[in-house]
Structure 1
């Protein structure tokens, strides 16, 4: 490999970091869009002295930076991507409790912590998965079915006295129904992905944008409108979560993200679902309840909770899950690179682009060290910018009328879906939105709606 230019290395990391801010903050824009564009421009840049190595660095830095910043639209706008869908409800709840900035800061901490944890996991996981990988694909469907079984069995629903011994199974039936109906919707959508005709084409359109925007984004915004919520005047940015919960969130998220990066067809969204099984309390359950007639400090019209202790536990679990899901996404991005190096398989569009530009045979020890150095540097930049944006976004949004903001975001989501997926994507968005509201009325966890991804993947492996 030719001599490395420190100036070009830093410029590449900075360029990828800035692209990650753009892709993280703008719903509908993904790292894969930039990766495909950079692959297309690689010959042009090579003619002007920019070696493929530096282009690969931009792609890698973009992928890492994106995992820090993509939590912001999920918390403040209810606009998820495939990796942060499960974070929408706990993040939005924290926003309405005056802790939106804290949620973003906890997310940044979860991502930063997962970088450290992932570095510790690299060697043992590489040795372990390098040995057992040939056997994984054969049993992948059963692994996913086991995850679904645990998820459904852990559903407790709402306890109501005097409804008989079979009442406790009602919530499990509702959860199974939600899983199957979203799974059927996902199977229908994926089988007809060719019908997506975007108005604006930025690479291959995906049905996940309309599906997840409806199931986890628009549905939650409508619930917020029904409960007449408002953003409090002050948003807590300091940590109000125990070190034990923060550490557990980092470890569970990092471990889950590191594990699924090796598995074919398994996304970080499924890893987040797996990590959520270890978070206590029902962080992703919310129901429409009677509105409090007396405003709380800060001017918020809150939803009544019957048990203050349970409410506090739920909020703490929401915060821990934010840490966990952020750790999942960042460690998954890092181990996507490790999986490429160890087993020669790509698990994301970014890694596929890097492999196409460089080829795994050219990734010597020096290049690998530089890649990990770029990950650390990008993570450092991304932590501070994520916290800064989170602290300032609340103050800007607080000046807006929350009802008008929700309506505006709903309109923005609708326009985004139409522009990037066309009429068929808009059709999927309209169908998935009321389905995404079902958990609130059935009083079961919204994570069962991840059947939209899980069931099609299970059917694929069968």
Structure 2
């Protein structure tokens, strides 16, 4: 530890950043970058008061990590995602409606905590490897993302019904391609017209991703819940019912994908989550076993047996949803960790938090002692965040149970629309409204909503090709 750093002040910085991370994680529309920019703006005044830049950087790092733990809670219970947790909305919301909302929170906390442990183990060798291959990867980034997108579309199997025909799988792949392209065009339009945003409230740099992802993944799911008459059933506290091998795989795939975000330009956590999705066991992977077991039922139902009516199939898809939550949470947390190493090794910033730290510290002169200090900050923040995330997740449903779920959906929908208007102006509100039916179409076409990530993937691919 540097000689001018004291433990009490360091712990106070961690607690401040950790608390800010809880706030930004729980309140939809507030991003960790907002607090990072705020702390940088206040840094001259703080340093004049004797506060060392290291303490400010520590608060920013703790804030970014704490945020990745707590942002699952509004995604699951309110269906209000931020940029990083957009893909977690659907499986998280499904678990909530099945009565396992608190388990979804615990799975996310476990994924984030496991990602911290795994990332700290592989960070140094991975930093060395990426420093060697970084120029090559940068040159082929567009092609890499194109291959990822093609793999995502080809992996779509849609809703499987017996005797529907051998070519039906291509119908769902076509649906996936259509959704990918349509959302991609929306993304191209939104990013090219981003200068048209005139926020009513200036709260940091406005991002067109707020209305895009809120409409595609948050508001669309809430509207479907309203139209289908969904309600929050009684939530039950149970142990995590997911095989250890799937938890470990979710942590590893999430951490690996999250590391890519930190090293490669143009890759967001949402894109890394799409990459991780390719390694999650397919919902239909055991289709043959189900088909053999249900052969008699097929004859009895005249060849019109739906797998999603089968209890074994339902359990399989539920496990995939749980593993995906573990993986997505691992992506976001690993990104916060590996961003520090990317800053130290290649001097590149991939997040608002790292940009802020780069402005505060002389990153080119960071020593091994400095890195160890920040790793201890990460470990401490992760421990505190794991405890508080589970505590909040286990109890928030009691407060929500006293409220009408339809009114919650309507309130959050109006809140998302209002945030889009306030933070991105009328243009952002227009993008939000256009994105909603596109997000809803995935459910009607019986395909994964992750194909809607074409809204980011297609513009990035075209940029790098």
TM-score by length of 2: 0.93
Partners of 1:237 and 1:16 in 2: CA distance: 31
Q: Residues of 1 paired with 2:85 and 2:58: CA distance? A: 24
Residue 160 of structure 1, CA deviation: 3.7
Corresponding position of 1:344 = 347
Root-mean-square deviation over aligned CA pairs: 1.4
Question: How far apart are 1:162 and its partner, in Å?
Answer: 4.8
The offset of 1:165, in angstroms, is 4.0
The 10-residue stretch of structure 1 (14-23 or 412-421) with the greater mean CA deviation from structure 2: 412-421
The 5 A counterparts of 1:354-365 are 354-365=357-368
Q: Distance in 1 between matches of 2:459 and 2:3?
A: 45
Number of residues of Structure 1 aligned to a counterpart in Structure 2 = 442
1:252 Cα deviation after fit: 1.1
Q: Residue 293 of structure 1 aligns with which residue?
A: none
- Pick aligned residue for 2:453 from 425, 446, 450: 450
C-alpha distance in 2 between matches for 1:181 and 1:162: 30
CA distance in 2, matches of 1:178, 1:393: 35
Cα deviation, 1:317-337, whole Å, max 9, x if unaligned, reads 111111110011000110000
Q: Tell me which residue corresponds to 1:312.
A: 315
Question: Deviation at 1:166?
Answer: 3.1
* Corresponding position: 1:40 with 2:44: no
Per-residue CA deviation, residues 316-365 of structure 1 (Å, 9 max, x unaligned), is 11111111100110001100001111111111111011011112123122
- What is the rounded CA distance, in whole Å, between the counterparts of 1:116 and 1:340 in structure 2? 20
Given the alignment of the two structures, is residue 368 of structure 1 paired with residue 371 of structure 2, yes or no?
A: yes
Contact conserved, 2:347 with 2:364, CA < 8 A, in 1?
no
Q: Which residue of 2 aligns with 1:209?
A: 210
CA distance in 2, matches of 1:211, 1:256: 22
Partner of 1:118: helix, strand, or coil? helix
Q: Which moved more, 1:161-170 or 1:256-265?
A: 161-170
Q: CA deviation at 1:232?
A: 1.5
- TM-score w.r.t. the length of structure 1 is 0.93
1:393 is displaced (CA, Å) by: 0.9
Q: Whole-Å Cα distance in 1 between the matches of residues 137 and 363 of structure 2? A: 22
Provide the residue aligned with 1:263 in structure 2. Answer: 264
Aligned to 2:291: none
Partner of 2:219: 218
Separation of aligned partners in 1, 2:328 and 2:186: 24
Shift of residue 235 of structure 1?
Answer: 2.7
CA drift at 1:368: 1.1
Cα deviation digits, residues 239-260 of structure 1 (max 9, x gap) = 1111111111111111111133
Distance of 2:163 and 2:313 partners within structure 1: 21
Alignment of 1:420 with 2:423, yes or no, is: yes
Matches within 5 A, 1:43-442: 43-282=44-283, 305-442=308-445
Unaligned regions of 5+ residues in structure 2, if any?
285-306
